[in-house]
Structures are given as structure tokens and as C-alpha cells.
Structure 1
Amino acid sequence: MTREPLPDADPPVRAADLRLAGEWLARHDLADAGPTPLLASRLAVRRRARLAAHVILAVLIIASALAATFDRFAVSGRPWPLLVLAALVAGLLLAQSLLDWWVRRVDQRAGATLSRRAAHLVQPGWRAVLGRPYAVFAVATFAGAMVLAGSALALPDPTVRQLAVVLLFGLLGVTAITAMQLRHLLRRPVVAQDEESLTADVIMRVEDARELTTPSAQWSLPMVLLFGTAPGWWSAAALVYLLLGLAALVALNARTPSSVTVARRAMSI
């Protein structure tokens, strides 16, 4: 652990955010550390950014469903709904990049207030933050959704094929947004002033990474767009995909170590 002097000043923070930070520490067996303005401000911006990210994904799902209501993409010979959906995906990617910039900016301002700064010798990588089981689960979930979309795209029904194209665009948009969030999560600098706050920093990374692997959009899009419209065997396959994914996620959460345990292991490297 290394330390370097930095200007000393506390970032402004609301009393409610400070109280929530204390509750967060208690849930993660770090109550002895005590809530600090730095931790409170970082947790607050992450709560708001996480809510905004959920709104972004909800907008994508709703937009995909609206595009799917068109029986045909062609309007005057042009695929307007698909073009609008592609433009929306680009706009949502920009919105997500701005959210990531906002979180990074708050971290930078919070770090600049520290009178001393602690840094772990090794920057936590994806194995420490996300872990192989969650990474495999995320890849398998994406692959399963793409297989569903590809199988629908191969059907002779033109309406089903059109909906499958919308599904593919939606899945690729969700994947791009998630990849952008993971990239930001792994590259952001560690902001801490002692061992306890350093542990809290790693816990936040682990929890953020695990939430990103929860495939709500990947599960929702096939059901919203094609369930009941595609042939019965496809709807059954989509239902099995959803149920297996839920079971795998429950087992994964039950069998893998807690974020606190993972963070302490990463700190011991």
C-alpha cells in the first residue's frame, strides 16, 4: 500500500447520503470504519447512475417493442423503424458514456480532497472483480439469446423474421452498453485513503460488476418481441431459456462468495 499527500478538504454531502453510507458499511461488515463524505458521495452518484442506466435499458426495451408493432419495416421502400431503432441505440450509448464520465468525475473530485491516498499494488482486474463464474454466465446468457434470435430469423414467416431483426438490434445494443459499463468499471482509478476505504472501493466494483451481469434485458427482449408470435416450439424454447437462466443466477448468487469476501481476497494479493 502506498500513500501520497493530496489537498485536504471534504466534499459536500447530504445528511441522507451519509446515513445511507453508514447503512452500506454495516451491511458489508465495515461499520467500524464509519461513513465518510468521500464514501457517501461515491455511493450516492452510483445509486443515481445505476437508476439512470436502468432507465436507459427500459427505453431500449420499450423502443424495441414499439418497432416490433410494425408488420413490415418498409415504409415507402425504406426500413424506417429499424433505422430509428439503430439511431436510438447510438443515442443510448452516448447517454451511457456520459453517465460513466459523471461517475468518474465524482471519483476524481472525491480523490482530490484526500489528505493522503492509499492504492493497492495491483489494480483489480476482471477475474478479481467479476470472477470467472459470472463471466461465463454473462457469455452463456448472451449466446443463448443470440441463438433464439438466429433461430427466429431462419423461420419462413416474414413477420417473425422482421421481429427477429429487431431482437438482434436490441441484443447488440444491450451488449454494447454493458461492455461500455464494464470497461469503465475496470479502468476507473482506486479512490481510498486507508485500508478500510480501499476495501470499500473494491466491494463497490464487485457489486457493480455482478449487477451488470444480471441479464434482465436479454431475458425480456425475446419474451416481449416474439413470445406468442413465433411457433410454439420457439416460445417453449424461450421459456426454457428464461427459467434456466433464473435458476443459474440463483445458484450463482448462492454458491459464490460474497462481495466482501471477494474484495478481501483481492486485497490480499
Structure 2
Amino acid sequence: MTRESSPDAGPPTRAADLRSAAEWLAGHDLGDAQPTPLLAGRLAVRRRARLATHVVLAALILVSALVTALSGFQPYRPLPLLALTASMAGLLLAQSLLDRWVRRVDQRAGATLSRRATHLVQPGWRAVLGRPYAVFAVATSAGAVVLAGSALAVPDPAVRQPAVVLLIGLLGVTAIIAVQLRHLLGHPVVAEDEESLTADVIMRVEDARDLNLPAVQWALPVVLLFGTAPGWWRAAAIAYLILSLVTGVALHARTPSSATTARRAMGVR
């Protein structure tokens, strides 16, 4: 562990955030550590960003379902396609802005440290995310893209038009996740001692796992195409959803916790 100098000044932190940080530490086997304003601020912005992501995704699903139900995607009517394209672009922009918000809070928190603790080896994707989660993320993304691509083979414009929007959106989400994961693995550690270093790696693990939760891949194919696609496509969409949900639950139950994964990444037993 090495130390680096940095200016010292901390942003104000609410008492509720400190209490939440204390509960987070206790839940990750770090009950002896003190909840600092730095940690409380980082955890608070992550909670708010996750909540905002859920709200944005729910709004996108509602808008998509409403547009699809009202328009039926009749041929030669570009307005529904434009509305869904704008909704998808809004989702991608919101995800990018939320990720940027979390990164900026981390950067400001790091600038307040009078000393900085670093690990000898920067944890890579295998240590932070893990092969099972990586395989699951690739499989669910590929499955959603295959579903959208298969709908393009249907000659009905009412199916093909939303399938184009869906395919573009899925590819955009995949690209954003890849960029976010790259930033997550590469950004400097924000910690000043061994305990806060462990907390930093735990947050990396949790952020990586949240990034690979395929909420968009699960929701949008059903919302955009289920009412207009042929029966074989609907059966494939249901099978994809059930299989990926069962796999995700089993993966969460069988893989080590974020705290255990972080300690292994740091070489701590």
C-alpha cells in the first residue's frame, strides 16, 4: 500500500447518508470501520443514480407500450417510429449522464483526500466482474439482439419498424455498458486506508454487477414487439425471458458476495 498527497476538503454529508453508510459497512463485514462523509457521499449518489435509472426505464416502457398500443405501427406512418426512436435515445442519454454523475462525484471525493491508498495491482474484469457474470451479460445481450434481428425477417412493417428501433437501442445499450465497465475498471482508487480501500473495491464489484443486470434486454423486446409479432417470435421471447431470469437468480445465489469477491481481488482472506 502506498500513499499520495491530495488537497483536503470534504463536501457536507447528511446524517441519513452517514447512517446508510454505517448499515452498508455492517452488511459487507466492515462493521468496525467508521462511516466517513466521503464514503457516505459515494454510496448516496449510487443509490440515487440506480433509482433514477429504474424510473427512466419504467418511463421508457410505459411510453413504448402506449405508442405501440395507440398506433399499431401502421405502414407509412413514421410518427410512432420517431417517437420510439426518441424514447430510446433518451434512455441512452440518461444512462450516460447518470454514469457521468457518479464518476464526477468519485473524482471530487478523491480530490478531498489528504492521503490516498492504492493496491499494488489494479483489479481486472475477472477479479471485479467474474467470468460467470461476464458470460451471463454476453449471453443475455446476444439473445436480445438475436430476437430483434429475427423479427426483421417478418415482412410485416408493423413488426419490422419497432424491430429496427429495438435493434439500434440494444446495440447502443451494449456499447454504453462496455464504456461504463471500462471506466469502472480504470478509474483511480478513492481510499485513504486499508478499510476504505476494501470498501472501494466492493463498490466496484457492485457497480459492475449492476451494469450487467439486463433490465433493458429483458423489457424492451416484449414491450415493443409482443403485441404485433407472430406466435413463434412470442414463444421465443417468453423462453428467452424465463431462461435468462432463472439463470440470473441461480447466478446471484451461487456466486460469492461482493465483499468476498472484493477481498479475493485484493488477496485478502
- TM norm. shorter chain > 0.5: yes
Letter of the structure 1 residue corresponding to residue 140 of structure 2: T
- Report the counterpart of residue 252 of structure 2 in structure 1: 253
Shift of 1:241: 0.7
- Return closer, same or farther for 1:95/1:119 CA change in 2, 3 Å cut-off: same
Within 1, Cα distance between the matches of 2:75 and 2:260?
A: 50
Identity between Structure 1 and Structure 2 (%): 77
Following the alignment from structure 1 to structure 2, what is the Cα–Cα distance between the partners of residues 98 and 219? 22
Work out the number of aligned pairs and report it.
Answer: 266
Local SS of the residue matching 1:33: coil
CA displacement 1:118-172 (0-9 Å, x = unmatched): 0112222211111111111111101111111122211233322223223223322
Alignment of 1:72-221 (within 5 A): 72=74, 74-75=76-77, 79-221=78-220
For residues 17 and 73 of structure 1, the distance between their equivalents in structure 2, rounded to whole angstroms, comes to 52
Deviation, structure 1 residue 228: 4.1
When normalised by structure 2's length, the TM-score is 0.89
More displaced, 118-127 or 259-268?
A: 118-127
Amino acid at match of 2:142: A
Contact 2:60 2:88 in 1 (8 A): yes
The one-letter amino acid paired with 1:45 is V
Residue 43 of structure 2 aligns to which amino acid in structure 1? L
* Secondary structure, counterpart of 1:102 in structure 2: helix
Three-state SS of the structure 2 residue aligned to 1:219 is helix
Q: CA RMSD in A?
A: 2.1
Instruction: State the alpha-carbon separation in 1 of the partners of residues 82 and 63 from structure 2.
Output: 12
Comparing 122-131 with 199-208, greater Cα deviation is found at 122-131
For structure 2, the 5+ residue unaligned runs are none
Q: What displacement does 1:57 show?
A: 2.8
Query: For residues 113 and 93 of structure 1, what CA distance do their matches in structure 2 show?
Result: 31
Cα shift at 1:24: 0.2
Residues 89 and 239 of structure 1: CA distance in aligned 2, closer, same or farther (over 3 Å): closer
Task: Determine if contact 1:57/1:174 at 8 Å carries over to the other structure.
Answer: no
TM-score, normalised via structure 1 length: 0.89
Once the two structures are superposed, residues 236-255 of structure 1 have per-residue CA deviations (whole angstroms, 9 ceiling, x without a partner) of: 11111111101100111111
Q: Are residues 59 and 186 of structure 1, via their aligned partners in 2, closer, same or farther at CA, if it must alter by over 3 Å?
A: farther
User: For the Cα contact (< 8 Å) 2:22–2:34, is it kept in 1?
Assistant: yes
Q: Which runs of 4+ in 1 moved over 4 A?
A: none
Contact conserved, 1:3 with 1:117, CA < 8 A, in 2?
yes
2:44 alignment partner in structure 1: 44
Corresponding residue of 2:3: 3
